[in-house]
Amino acid sequence: MSRRAANAGDYRELARARLPHFLFEYLDGGSYDEVTLRRNVEDLRTIALRQRVLRDVSNIDLSTSLFGREWAMPLGLGPVGLAGLYARRGEVQAARAAAAANVPMALSTVSGCSLREVAASGHVPWFQLYFVKDRGFVAQMIETAKAAGCGALILTVDLAVPGSRYRDTRAAGGGLRRMAQLLARPEWLWDVGLRGRPISLGNLEPIVGRHAPLSDFQTWIQANFDASVSWKDVEWVRKQWNGPLIIKGILDADDAQEAAASGADAIVVSNHGGRQLDGVLSTARALPAIAGAIGGRVPILADGGVRSGLDVVRMLALGADFVLLGRAWAYALAAAGGTGVAHVLKLIDAEMRVAMALTGCTSITGIRRDTLAIGDE
């Protein structure tokens, strides 16, 4: 299938055709009327790059360093919930593709495959952690991440309460309705539903059990996310974790400064892919002010709406040091497994090289605000 895809948009349609309806809606949808979901893509796409000519761009270098390690490009696979259900042992396949491309991958707390399983596959991911009411569970997951050798801990802070996602509600249902959606996708049903067993909630198994239905996942989310979380809790995590700590879910310059003061080693400018508070700024529009407020004190990662290598260059020009891919890699995984993820990473690599060459940038450090056209800088 990867040969049929020319870009991430093609993978989205291939994923739609392969996944059961309720799973595609969970992956593809945003909160409420999806205003922010659309803004993420549209605002980034409208940022104009500044074309430059007659510069020696015969040697383009995409490599960059983060947390003391060299990466092939300033791009990683961001945390995506339930990705293990998009392909057979999906997060394991994605981790192998990331390792082959020399880019990091972050595993979600609410993954389909557990951290132990993914780490045992040969590529130890970064781990994304949610604050929940059960601090014992949080402490246990931090210890698991330590034992696995995770290179960074991503603490997601924009989910004190879950946003309402209308598409999930419309696609929900059990019994005959759910069975009809599964039977309508026989390839997925055979490859993932049957050959991909056990299907579980990965890291949540100790709480909800190995054979818990997906409805228990939503129930657990509603019951356990903690609205009382404050910066004191971030300080508590900082004491528990001695590796790189990344605060994800920053959309305001004041919060960015508090994150840096809290002991975080990096931040992720993110609106949770348009899945939380609808109507907020897109990442592309929020990023410049945050970059200005941080002033280089800590690295800035960004996600939201990234669908191409051109988008990666735009994010870097707007002030990001590193970019996390979300739905784009999940679409590719759903469409073609690890092969699809590897292919979408190659596409982005190629697109970045063209964008850099035609803007006169030969290295990642050369991508700055003046890489953007007047009016978007």
Per annotation, catalytic residue among 123, 211, 272, 343: 272
d(CA 89, CA 192): 8
* Rg (the chain; Cα; Å): 20
Closest listed residue to residue 91, CA positions, set 136, 123, 56 = 123
Q: What are phi and psi of 157, to 5 degrees?
A: -120, 5
Active site residue 343: no
Catalytic residue annotation: 272
